[in-house]
Amino acid sequence: MALTFDDGPHPEATPRLLRMLDANRIRATFFLLGSMVEKHPDVARAIAAGGHEIAVHGYEHRLLLKRRPAETMEDLARASAAITAVTGQQPVWWRPPYGVASTAALIGARCLGLTPVLWTCWGRDWTPNATSDSVFRAVRRGLAGGATILLHDSDHSAAARSWESTLGALPAILVHCRARGFAVGPLREHGLRRLDNLRQPVGV
């Protein structure tokens, strides 16, 4: 199982998540926002220092279908540059905000050497009514071998403090994965390949 987190880094949620992952000897992939990386560089560096994989979610969390091609390319390039400069990692994965990629975004990602990745199950942890139990049940319904789990370690584009439900659900998710014999790790250990001639997102 690939374990992934979007919208960070967050000054409170991400450090708590990192401690939880470290205690469980789990590494994950973090799809970071460039604007949040610049705002919280120490947290972004802590993610990389913890052995986690760094990926791009964009500079701002905006629907790409509403942006002009030049704006889209600028967003991706700015995000990739900011994330690389702060973390020291050159990202290879990209997840579009809201999971929606425009043609311009796919072309821009390819130019930057970024492979699009979506998900196969999510916790719906950004919603105002999410609870630890609802997040766990939502993820469990979609779990299967080779799955990519989408969770959030920030409330940047979500209900206030929604990440508390994510953190509350994660121990149960990890126990469930282990009980079913699923190894949990970042995308780089997931069997996905960089697709230089990619025509559509992978991981869905």
Residues 84-136 have pLDDT tens digits of 999 999 999 999 999 999 999 999 999 999 999 999 999 999 999 999 999 99
Beta strands 2-8 and 148-152: pairing type?
A: parallel
Average pLDDT, rounded, for the chain:
92
Q: Could you tell me the two tokens for 106? A: 């796919």
Phi, psi at residue 96, to the nearest 5°?
Answer: -70, 145
61 is catalytic: no
Q: How many domains does the chain have?
A: 1
User: Is 202 within the bounds of a domain?
Assistant: no
> Mean of the pLDDT values across residues 170-189?
95
**Continuous segment of H or E residues that includes residue 106:** helix 103-111
* Active-site annotation holds for 152: yes
Which residues, 6 or more positions from 148, have their beta carbon under 8 angstroms from its beta carbon? 1, 2, 4, 117, 118, 119, 120, 121, 187, 190, 203
In this structure, the chain runs to a length of 204
- 10, 52, 152, 190: which one is catalytic? 152
Within a domain: residue 91?
Answer: yes
Q: Would 30 be classed as within a structural domain? A: yes
From the candidates 6, 7, 125, 155, which is the catalytic residue? Answer: 6
Cis peptide bond upstream of 171, omega within 30: no
**How is 10-62 classified by DSSP, letter by letter?**
-TTHHHHHHHHHHHTT---EEEEEHHHHHHSHHHHHHHHHTTPEEEEEESS--
Residue 197 belongs to a domain: no
Residues above pLDDT 90, as percent of the chain: 83
List, for residues 49-85, the tens digit of each pLDDT value.
999 999 999 999 988 888 888 999 999 999 999 999 9
**CATH code, domain carrying 7:** 3.20.20.370
Residue pair 123/133 in contact by the 8 Å Cβ criterion:
no
Q: Is residue 199 part of a domain?
A: no
The token pair that represents 163 in the structure block: 């990440």
Provide the residue range defining the domain that includes 134. Answer: 2-189
Residue 31 lies in a domain: yes
